[in-house]
Amino acid sequence: MIDRVTEARGFDTFDLRYVGLIVAILGIGLLSIHSVTHDQEGGIAPYYVKQIAWIGVGTLAFVVMWAWDYHAIARLAYPAYAVVLFLLVFVLFEGRTSKGAQRWIALGPFSFQPSEFAKLVLILVLAQYYSKAPRVGWLQRVIVPGLLMLPGLILILKQPDLGSGLSFVAVYAAMLLMVGVRSQALGIALLFSVMLFPFVWEGVWGALHDYQRQRIMAFVDPSYDPSGKGYHALQSRIAIGSGELMGKGLFGGTQSQLKFLPEGHTDFVFAVYAEEWGFIGVLVLLVLFVSLIWLSLDIASKAKDQLGALLAVGIVSMLCFCIVVNIGMTAGMFPIVGIPLPLVSYGGSVTIMSMASLGLLLNVKRRRLSLFY
């Protein structure tokens, strides 16, 4: 088998640039987390220290996912998916509830969010599925992978975690598009989605919590604002806008320092950064993100086999989706759905998951030059 003779290569300048970008983005995240939480109690340690610890664990995950042959990792996709599904069921019964959603499993003083890890596992499952055999016909290309995704999606929406659910669908859609869907199959799929939309919408809207409906309504109609949810979106816009070109400087962001923004260190960390570092800072961060994704797409295009290429595409599209939706929602372009900004937002699960994904990407690249068929 090809897998066996795959030969891993060491570090090169590409890898250095790649890791350099990750470190730079993580640094920006730490700075903004520290800025917004420096006068808060973080529990056992200040937030930025805890985030450093998460990055430490994330580095470990990165190295493991980089070092271990991705073919071997992909072979674990289905068992891993089973574990994730179990955890998602478990979290519904035993999870820790916060803001009306039951997403966390408590582990001593920490808690982790299985839905974050479910995203990466879904990528593995779909990549493994498509690369295992030539999948032909719309049934094999669209329906079967869709059914694979469905249980995880339903469990995540049940929590409810709209943001993770949407990224789930986004990963599926992106991989579907990359393996290619014949127009006929695509047509049928589209037809079905259109026909099912009213039911799906009913199901989705009905499953949403009040606060989520209010967020969406506040987006559609800012005057629909019974208890200040649109106010939240407005204050986020004020924070970003008042940063102007140069920003207000570290610790200078009056909007974020006064903590009108809940989740200023998590989902709304971008608003904090934009307020304190201005449009210049925003451009720097966007360039860093685009460069990272650009390099990742290079990896995808030069992957030595379909499995590698699909893994790379899945990971890239997931990260893109999170980045775009997060920045879009803080800037008032999308409704607030609660997606953290990868590598920047505070949070153990999302940081570890993002870094593990990037390690897997580099893994694909690391093995691409060996035995190119």
Partner 1 sequence: MLGSYSETEYGDFQRRLIILRMGLLLVVALLALRLWHLQIREGAYYRDLSENNRTRQVLMEPARGLIYDRHGVLLANNVPSFSLYVALDEVKDREALIEKLSDLLELDPAFIRKKLGGKGGKLLPRKIKDRLTLRDAVLIESHRLDLPGVMIQVESQRNYPGGVTASHLLGYVGEVSAEQLEKPEFSDLHQGSIVGQYGIEKSFDRYVRGQAGYKRVEVDAHGHEKKAVVVEKPQAGNDLYLTIDVRLQKLAEELLGREYGAIVALDPTNGDILAMASRPAFDPNVLSRELTPKQWAEIVQDEGRPLNNRASQGQYPPGSTFKVPMAVAALESKTVSPFSTVTCNGGYQFGNRVFRDWKTTGHGAVNLHKALVHSCDVYFYTIGQRMGIDLMAEFGRQFGLGQSTGVNLPSERTGIMPSTEWKKKVKKEPWLPGETISAAIGQGYVTVTPLQMANLIATVANDGINYRPRLVLAVMDRVTGNLQELPAVPRGKINAKPETFRLIKDALADVVNVGTATRAKSSVVTIGGKTGTAQVAALRTGPEESIPKKFRDHAWFIAFAPVESPKIAVAVLVEHMGHGGTAAAPLAKEVIEAYFKLNEGQSAGTTDAPAADRIGATSEPL
363 touching partner 1, by CB under 8 A:
no
Mapping DSSP onto H, E and C, the string for the chain reads CHHHHCCCCCCCHHHHHHHHHHHHHHHHHHHHHHHHHCCCCCCCCCHHHHHHHHHHHHHHHHHHHHHCCHHHHHHCHHHHHHHHHHHHHHHHHHCEEECCEEEEEEECCEEECHHHHHHHHHHHHHHHHHHHCCCCHHHHHHHHHHHHHHHHHHHHHHCCCHHHHHHHHHHHHHHHHHHCCCHHHHHHHHHHHHHHHHHHHHHHHHHCCHHHHHHHHHHHCCCCCCCCHHHHHHHHHHHHHHCCCCCCCCCCCHHHHCCCCCCCCCCCHHHHHHHHHHHHHHHHHHHHHHHHHHHHHHHHHCCCCHHHHHHHHHHHHHHHHHHHHHHHHHCCCCCCCCCCCCCCCCCHHHHHHHHHHHHHHHHHHHCCCCCCC
The CB-of-40 to partner 1 minimum distance in angstroms stands at 6
Q: Which of 85, 144, 238, 284 binds partner 1 (CB under 8 A)?
A: 238
Site residues for partner 1, 294-313, by CB under 8 A, read 294, 297, 300-301, 304-307, 309, 313
What is the smallest separation between the CB atom of 26 and partner 1, expressed in angstroms? 20
Q: Does 269 bind partner 1 (CB under 8 A)?
A: no
Q: Does 351 bind partner 1 (CB under 8 A)?
A: no
User: Per rule CB under 8 A, is residue 177 in the interface with partner 1?
Assistant: yes
Which lies closer to partner 1 via its Cβ, residue 207 or residue 284?
284
Selected from 243, 314, 338, 340, the binder of partner 1 by CB under 8 A is 243
Binding flag, residue 2, partner 1 (CB under 8 A): yes
178 in contact with partner 1 (CB under 8 A):
yes
Site map (CB under 8 A) of partner 1, residues 33-52, x = contact: ------xx------------
Per CB under 8 A, the list member of 16, 23, 190, 290 interacting with partner 1 is: 290
Total number of residues that touch partner 1 (CB under 8 A)? 60
98 near partner 1, rule: CB under 8 A:
no
Q: In terms of CB distance, is 98 or 150 closer to partner 1?
A: 98
State in angstroms the smallest separation of the CB of 121 from partner 1. 20
- Name the residues that contact partner 1, by CB under 8 A: 2, 39-40, 71, 131-133, 174, 177-178, 180, 227-228, 231, 235, 237-245, 254-255, 257-260, 274-275, 278-279, 282-283, 286, 289-290, 293-294, 297, 300-301, 304-307, 309, 313, 316-317, 320, 324, 327-328, 331-333, 373
